[in-house]
Structure 1
Amino acid sequence: MYVIGKVIAVIFFYVYFLYSASIEGTVTDYIDKVPIKEAVITIIHTDTARAVASTITDEEGYFNFPDLEPGRYHIQVLKEGYYKNILFDYKIFKDGNYRVNIKLLKGDRECTVEYCFLLGSIEVIVDSRELINRDLTTVRKIFSGDIEHLQASNLGDILYLVPGLEKSKSLGLSRDVRAGVRSITNVGMPGTIESFGTSIIINGREVSNDGNAKQKGQTGIYGIDLREIPADNIKEVRVISGIPSVEYGNFANGIIEVITKYNYVRPKLKVKLNPDTKAASLTSGLKFKSSVFNWFFNYAYSERDLRKKGDEYHRFYFSGNYSGSTRDKKLDYRLSYTYTRLLDNQKPTDIYRMKTFNRGYLASGSFSLDYRYSNDRILSAIMNMGLNRRWYYQERWVAEQLVTPDTIYNGYIGKLNEIGKELNYFIKVKERIRRKGVVFDHNFLKGFEFDFRRNIGPGMVIDSVFNFYGANSPKRSYSFNDMDPIYRLTFFYEDNISTYVLSKKLEAMAGIRYDVINPERISLKDGLFRDRHGEYLSPRLNIGYWLGKTVRVRIGAGRSVKSVSLAYVNRSPAYCKYMVQDSIVEEKRSQRNRNLKAYCSDRYEISVDWQFRKDIGLSLTGYLFDIDRVPVLIEYPWNWESNPEEITSKTYSRFENRGWLVLSGLELIMRTRRIKNFKYDLNITYRYQKKGQYGKIYDPAPDTTWEQIWYVPPYEWQEKIILDHCISFVSDRLGLWVSIDLQHILLNHYKKVFQSNSTLVEINGVRRIIYQGMSDYRYWERYLKSYPQKFIFSLRLTKSIGHNTEISIYINNILDDRAVYYDRYENVQLEMNPPIYYGIELSKQW
């Protein structure tokens, strides 16, 4: 019987292995193409969702499952530091021997993604660990896959992915694009001070208009034009709208932090085409023993008005990065260089011979390093030098008679040039130290930074004979070389604390930042320094307390300071010509304000984050920004300094710290985990904005029967309710990613409130109250602009069409609903939505 038993056992195992299947293969790094050892491979039965086998890879990345029953399986691969990968519905038959090669994509050090796969060459995040905000402040993160899925051509286009911003413009390069975090205005079209007060940070260095002294074209009183920053090389965008770390400064509205791709990348070509913009980009890299070099090139072209020959915009962009590590990987370093060439042309096509171009280039080089003394102590430094050369040119036909000693002109072509070079030097050093205690864990941050900006060059060049502004215009040339630079010295210190109170986790951030702008010398009488533009202390505090494992309350308060630009300080002089007997007298008034101060933003925020079960995350945030001492243009009568009571029609003006701005609102965010390949996001945003100025303003031509020479200015307010819906479908099996976006503007109100003297005027047989300062009598006291509700649907589709190749299609306003609004007070018809707009993009990676 013993022999018979052994024979039966041998036959059983022989039959079992004869009819069973096996799977073997290797796990490799997607970028480096090297084997990955100790990766965990799990075989999961598709029908029962039960794990049937598991193993780890050896030194060569090899794994083997020798005895699997026939059926359908998922092959799941996990490795610390990499995104999870899954091969779906892998069907095996009896007697089959299968071999697979599985690739893993390396994740960040602070990876918040559970599952990410490559659709062609686009990184698609399927599941994220974060359904609610885990930071102490309000931050919205946009990753490279979302950017490519949208077909963004510049940083301004990426802001379409930020909820709460009205999407009433088409993507592309045809118009200036500026940022305004928590701005109530449209994407790319914020107000002057909202865009100027938004800080743009690229790889740790700030990009701003503080050194811009231009009065024409891309002026220095706005924020930077985001068309200058291409989107194809961006790895991640972080929009910080709450109270940030004291490390961040020189902002009043919010922060947009950009991180570009700088590690080794495989060669990739991308081409995009839409009615507005045609673009192509190429990126590649080289890998050495302990370092990496990568480069990126982009060309984009926009032809704005097809009826005008030469009305076009060109952008050439190149960047190179050399990065690596040394000293047993304790020291990481990075050397970067960028160059951007911009050609914005508009040739004359009308009888007035209007010709305009805005050309220039931007070049910058930076060096950064991170030295790890240990895991608990890191020293970081960054140094940057930048040059921004701007040339604005404009010409037009001046239909005025001009008499010269040689001849008489019945008209002439007036020309204007504005040429300058912005120089920027920036250095920042910081150190992080972590200390763990029995009760409290501390993460200390301390550092300093120095920022220097200056503008040099010919400045505004106007022909004194053939004056662009007219034969008798008092406008004159002025040089940028006469302007003082703007430089800022900063020190900051912060402590991030973590502890437990009543068995619940408590997190806190407390810090202080000191800024002094244009210090001249040490003076304890004036503070610490005697300075031109002020010295400021900016305390900040954030507290987060977990009421349970899934509910957290966050409270924050703090101050930020925004420096003024050279354009605010150095307004061009004003001139006045008049006759005295038989001679012409010309007078000059300086419009500079060398002691113009920076302005402050006091910020308050409270939030509740709640992860409902495992599939839904909710966040409710209320905020208030009180922005004070905003620079605004103040007008004075010509002889104000000698005779303040005299009324003159001729005036001059300068910027003074007399403006104010209040922003408040509520934000409700709901996110779901991907269920059966579907995911739904909902954002409900209410924004309120109110702005005005202190003091009184001058009226050069008052009606003395009821108007005053100096009167109280009006203020204005606006409110909006915006609903953003997004439904997305992702399938690794189909190689498909589809997103449907719907934005609903539920409420949009605007009103200007007058506070000056008033009178009754009969308009169309109706007596109306008219206030001093109304530019048009249609703005009577009860005039409230109430725009109708509007909807806009958009479709984004990305499909893999081959190995490392994909095609993307984007259709904006797919129903072509223009949301036509007739303003009966202004007697104009407005299209609140852009026309239907499409784009197509093709990319290939080798």
Structure 2
Amino acid sequence: MGTIIKALVLTVGMYVLLTGLMPKAFAQQITLKGKVTDSKGKPLPYATVSLTAEDIRTYTIIDGSFTLTVPPALYLSQTLTLRVSYVGKQTLTREVAMNTSGILPVFILKDDNLKLPDVEVNGIRKKTSASNSSILFDREAIEQTQALSLANVLDYLPGQTIMKPNVSVQGMQALTLRSAVSSNTVEALNNAFGISVVVDGGVVSNDANMQAMNPGRGLFSANNISNPENGVIKDRSWRNGTLYRSYENAMQANNGLDLRTIPAENIENIEVVSGVASARYGEYTTGLVVVNRQAGLTPLRVTVRTNEATRNIGINKGYALSPAIGVVNVSFDYLNSQDDPRDKLKGYQRIAGSVLWTYQPKGLFHFKNTLSLDGNATIDQTKQDPDLGTEQMAKFSNRSFTINNRSEWLVKKPWLYNIQLQGNYSWGRQESYEQRYLNSNTFLGIIDAMETGIHEGYFTPGYYLSVKHIIGEPVNAAARLETNSIFKLSKVGTYKLTVGVNYSYSANKGPGILIDPSRPRFHNSEKKNDRIRPYNDLPVLSNGGIYIENSLATKVLNRPLNLNLGFREDIQNKYYTLSPRLSASYKVSKQLNWNIAYGIATKAPALSQVSPGNVYIDIPLISAYNGSANQSLYLAYTKVIPLEDLDIKPYRSKTFETGMNLDAGPLQASLYYFNRTADNGFTTLYTVVPLELPNYTVMPVADGKPSYTPNGTYSYYLPGYNRMANGSYNRSDGLELMIGIKKIQAIQTSFNIGTAYYRSSVKTNVPQMYVPENPRYDLVPLYGLFNNTETKSANVKTTLVSTTHIPSLRMAIMLTGELFWLNRSELMPSSVYPIGYYTKQLEYFPLTPEQAQLPEYAHLTKKDANGNKVTTQPAFVYPNMHARLSKEIGDYLRFSFNAYNVFNIRPKEKLTSGTAYYNGQPAYGAELIFSIK
């Protein structure tokens, strides 16, 4: 913390120095005045008026008027681009000459509907204050996805696979960006975990999520709460070319945010940063998803969606209370989804509501405050199937409440333009539950000791209802304070200084793991058993940081050049991190812009990674059962391995990105190359625990428990466990091409083409012991040791969207085609062949590369699930096609019809584990939107 204080003092000193050295830089300010109305002349209060390139903004008051003070530092520009935006209206931009009198013509914003001549229905790449390569989705683009949640919108990002709008099949829907790794890998978890989701300026954190059993069994088995079909794969769907199991509750902890929990009904726009973000953003490694919701006057809007067995209704209304109180926006969302209308066993429900209150008084300091209250409840469950006879059932429920407040003071002084303050607090209750009848043995020996040593246990019947129950109460809080100042550097250009400080807090106060040791879900699996574990004594995670950002707008060869240099200093899990970020944007010509960026970003470990919980290894020593539990003896040795408050470093990424943006009238295109390396990723390392334990002589006792004494001999045991640690390394690079052809009037159609090519190389940075699936205990080489286990993957995917928009008919037809070119994975030699082996006694013997490939060590080599060292799934190119029709009837009703996999394209491939079907089954849905003005 001392380092941060020193850096803060240094930053403030630089700020004072700059403001003190440039008193002559200020000249008389220009004040722009104007008014914003709708097409009927009705004033629009709380509209945002901004200078796009400079990120300077103000807001209209209750009569629709605004006053924007232009700092003299911007005098180098001949014209300024003024942007006016409002909820539910088409954004308007206007060039304003610097020699203007200050009084601007009225800005008339038209309703954002299909009657407009041009409608943007796709994400566009654009330079923003968050990044010079952001991808933005406006409200109309969100509408065209028939989105049930945020996840459906983000399916249209480069490289993503468009899934049918069903939230019950795929289970948890976390996002991964710019990666070719498979979804069922640790690297995919790290990628998703490194994405920060920001809603209304507040980070939605998953750091306090503890819905996982102890990862001593392995990272993935620890997170799976259920697999109701006992591993039988009825159907397969593919996302990013990787396999998802139907009817499987996906992982919660150690993962990214479940995007199903964020409704899309009241989202105004979405910004996705997959490259280098501004220094103001911390706690991320892979990317950002910035969500801005509606907070203004809007008509009563009722949306009804249906897709097979999925039903969704959303209600949204924004209205003015009074000039002295402000504007309130209220929204409600209900979703009920089943996997199959013929099968009601698997289901997902979501109830969400929010209230956004915006207040803006008219005073000396222009002030705006937005307070949001959000409530959310979700249930992901499988009901009992009477045909199974096992009373099998699983569910995951999540209730949360969030309060978030954003304040901005437009001081508009030469030395201080504005001050921003943001804070949020969230509380939740998460419950994971699974039950099923088990009949493994006639009786079971149970040990529930909590300390290392030899203990007497007890016997229970082997037929019972097993229950796995976890209750967590995550608490998250965060705050950020930021100031911005704008200076004129003589004839050099405009300099903007941003200084900020942020803090976050995560804890979990839930009851924890509430299992019954006498009814274990997995009895003595690999010599390990679970124990009751409360969460209310877990450590608290707190992360703090400061940042400074320097932005310079100047000209080189008489063309605009924007430079941005930022630094972040953070304390994350008691580790100090420094994250420099540099970006530049240069206008090569009137139509061509070149961007380049480099940055380091870090993400602190989550609570479940720092304190995953102790591992309990139980070794049965005596099991003497004579039919009576009171007269039987069960003796076992328990080894407790403490895994609390682990010393885990933050996850770190280094990203380089460069690209070109072309705006040639009817043609818009962008081509970007990126390279991202991520180290210190979170993973599980397998560790063997050699044990030498005594053997006993057991003597029967009449009408009592047998007696036992050590006989002087010993037995050797080699149980193992998985330990959370840093050790995952990922290097990804690739190309992203986006081409947009504006509407061709002759056919009333526009086109958008996107192609993404990703390569990823993942490995562990430490030697890893590998236990074969079927160990050969009859052979001396028992365990293999692998150095830098490495896998290389690549995938290529193209998306083509055609939009036929006829304003006179207020109708739009969108056809989306997907082409999956390649999905390839290769185990490198370091992954396939061991560098050495261990014997039963844990003696280690090294191997040369030549020795490792000899037949006597073949049982130690690694292969994928299908027995291959190189996999290409599928081994062919295949397409998919979707369609959407939208029609407006007057200003009050919009009808949309959506078809996923409209032509039933379902290629299949034979695998050793079964038949894989690519693309999901055809799905059809409809949407009705009522707007009451």
> Under TM normalisation by the shorter chain, which class is it?
0.7 to 0.9
1:648 is displaced (CA, Å) by 4.4
Aligned twin of 1:234: 267
1:414 is displaced (CA, Å) by 1.3
Aligned equivalents of 1:751, 1:151: Cα separation in 2 = 37
Work out whether 1:625 is the aligned partner of 2:676: yes
| Alpha carbons 2:91, 2:109 under 8 Å: kept | no
Structure 2 residue matching 1:483: 3-state secondary structure: coil
- Residues 109 and 444 of structure 1: is their aligned pair in 2 closer, same or farther, counting only changes over 3 Å? farther
Work out whether 1:107 is the aligned partner of 2:107: no
Determine which of 805, 815, 834 is the counterpart of 1:757.
834
Aligned equivalents of 2:95, 2:926: Cα separation in 1 = 31
Aligned twin of 1:379: 419
Structure 1 residue matching 2:335: 3-state secondary structure: strand
Aligned twin of 1:147: 142
Structure 2 residue matching 1:158: 3-state secondary structure: helix
Aligned equivalents of 1:666, 1:726: Cα separation in 2 = 19
| Alpha carbons 1:167, 1:187 under 8 Å: kept | no
CA offsets per residue over residues 585-606 of structure 1, 9 Å max, x none?
Answer: 3221123452111110000011
Work out whether 1:157 is the aligned partner of 2:234: no
Work out whether 1:301 is the aligned partner of 2:326: no
Determine which of 656, 669, 680 is the counterpart of 2:738.
669
Work out whether 1:720 is the aligned partner of 2:720: no
1:780 is displaced (CA, Å) by 4.7
- Residues 117 and 641 of structure 1: is their aligned pair in 2 closer, same or farther, counting only changes over 3 Å? farther
Aligned equivalents of 1:132, 1:775: Cα separation in 2 = 40
| Alpha carbons 1:127, 1:673 under 8 Å: kept | no
> RCO greater where, 1 or 2, for CA within 8 Å and sep 6 or more?
2
| Alpha carbons 1:83, 1:115 under 8 Å: kept | no
1:325 is displaced (CA, Å) by 0.6
Structure 1 residue matching 2:756: 3-state secondary structure: strand
Aligned twin of 1:793: 881
Structure ID, larger Rg: 1
1:115 is displaced (CA, Å) by 11
Aligned twin of 2:572: 517
CA offsets per residue over residues 691-731 of structure 1, 9 Å max, x none?
Answer: 11012122455776556553325321211111111111222
Aligned equivalents of 2:776, 2:767: Cα separation in 1 = 14
Aligned twin of 2:754: 683
Aligned twin of 1:636: 687
Determine which of 186, 204, 208 is the counterpart of 1:207.
204
Aligned twin of 1:67: none
Q: How do 1:187-586 and structure 2 match up within 5 A?
A: 191-215=188-212, 216=223, 217=225, 218-290=251-323, 291-306=326-341, 308-328=343-363, 330-349=366-385, 350-374=388-412, 377-399=417-439, 400-402=441-443, 409-437=461-489, 438-470=491-523, 474-518=529-573, 531=574, 534-580=575-621, 583-586=635-638
Aligned equivalents of 2:825, 2:263: Cα separation in 1 = 34
Q: How do 1:7-46 and structure 2 match up within 5 A?
A: 29=38, 33-34=42-43
| Alpha carbons 1:591, 1:653 under 8 Å: kept | no
| Alpha carbons 2:121, 2:142 under 8 Å: kept | no
CA offsets per residue over residues 268-299 of structure 1, 9 Å max, x none?
Answer: 11100001420111111330333101100010
- Residues 115 and 719 of structure 1: is their aligned pair in 2 closer, same or farther, counting only changes over 3 Å? farther
- Residues 719 and 286 of structure 1: is their aligned pair in 2 closer, same or farther, counting only changes over 3 Å? same
| Alpha carbons 1:355, 1:394 under 8 Å: kept | yes
| Alpha carbons 1:179, 1:188 under 8 Å: kept | no
Determine which of 807, 810, 823 is the counterpart of 2:895.
807
Aligned equivalents of 1:640, 1:580: Cα separation in 2 = 12
The residue identity in structure 2 corresponding to 1:750 is S
Aligned equivalents of 2:571, 2:883: Cα separation in 1 = 48
- Residues 403 and 564 of structure 1: is their aligned pair in 2 closer, same or farther, counting only changes over 3 Å? closer
| Alpha carbons 2:114, 2:810 under 8 Å: kept | no
Work out whether 1:600 is the aligned partner of 2:652: yes
1:559 is displaced (CA, Å) by 0.3
1:803 is displaced (CA, Å) by 2.9
The residue identity in structure 2 corresponding to 1:326 is P
Structure 2 residue runs without a partner (length 5+): 1-35, 46-62, 66-80, 97-106, 213-222, 226-250, 446-456, 623-632, 694-714, 836-846, 848-853
| Alpha carbons 1:353, 1:397 under 8 Å: kept | yes
The residue identity in structure 2 corresponding to 1:839 is G
| Alpha carbons 1:450, 1:490 under 8 Å: kept | yes
| Alpha carbons 2:146, 2:165 under 8 Å: kept | no
Aligned twin of 1:9: none
- Residues 502 and 34 of structure 1: is their aligned pair in 2 closer, same or farther, counting only changes over 3 Å? closer
Determine which of 732, 738, 758 is the counterpart of 2:807.
732
| Alpha carbons 1:28, 1:104 under 8 Å: kept | no
Q: How do 1:46-195 and structure 2 match up within 5 A?
A: 105=89, 107=91, 118=111, 126=119, 133-135=126-128, 137-167=132-162, 170-174=165-169, 175-184=171-180, 191-195=188-192
Structure 1 residue matching 2:126: 3-state secondary structure: coil
Structure 2 residue matching 1:194: 3-state secondary structure: helix
Structure 2 residue matching 1:191: 3-state secondary structure: helix
Structure 1 residue matching 2:260: 3-state secondary structure: helix
Aligned equivalents of 2:198, 2:549: Cα separation in 1 = 20
Aligned equivalents of 1:688, 1:110: Cα separation in 2 = 42
Structure 2 residue matching 1:181: 3-state secondary structure: coil
Structure 1 residue runs without a partner (length 5+): 1-26, 37-58, 62-78, 85-102, 519-530, 760-765
- Residues 622 and 169 of structure 1: is their aligned pair in 2 closer, same or farther, counting only changes over 3 Å? same
1:123 is displaced (CA, Å) by 8.3
- Residues 275 and 658 of structure 1: is their aligned pair in 2 closer, same or farther, counting only changes over 3 Å? same
| Alpha carbons 2:124, 2:136 under 8 Å: kept | no
- Residues 608 and 192 of structure 1: is their aligned pair in 2 closer, same or farther, counting only changes over 3 Å? same
Percent identity reads: 19
| Alpha carbons 2:493, 2:554 under 8 Å: kept | yes
Structure 2 residue matching 1:150: 3-state secondary structure: coil
- Residues 124 and 292 of structure 1: is their aligned pair in 2 closer, same or farther, counting only changes over 3 Å? farther
| Alpha carbons 1:120, 1:805 under 8 Å: kept | no
Aligned equivalents of 2:95, 2:473: Cα separation in 1 = 41
Structure 2 residue matching 1:334: 3-state secondary structure: strand
- Residues 403 and 165 of structure 1: is their aligned pair in 2 closer, same or farther, counting only changes over 3 Å? closer
| Alpha carbons 1:116, 1:123 under 8 Å: kept | no
Structure 1 residue matching 2:601: 3-state secondary structure: strand
Aligned twin of 1:839: 925
1:776 is displaced (CA, Å) by 6.6
Aligned twin of 1:41: none
Tell me which moved more, 119-128 or 572-581: 119-128
Aligned equivalents of 2:470, 2:493: Cα separation in 1 = 58
CA offsets per residue over residues 40-83 of structure 1, 9 Å max, x none?
Answer: xxxxxxxxxxxxxxxxxxx999xxxxxxxxxxxxxxxxx98668
1:649 is displaced (CA, Å) by 3.3
- Residues 118 and 375 of structure 1: is their aligned pair in 2 closer, same or farther, counting only changes over 3 Å? farther
Paired residue total: 737
- Residues 649 and 679 of structure 1: is their aligned pair in 2 closer, same or farther, counting only changes over 3 Å? same
| Alpha carbons 2:90, 2:111 under 8 Å: kept | no
1:169 is displaced (CA, Å) by 5.3
- Residues 434 and 450 of structure 1: is their aligned pair in 2 closer, same or farther, counting only changes over 3 Å? same
Work out whether 1:744 is the aligned partner of 2:796: no
Aligned twin of 1:659: 728
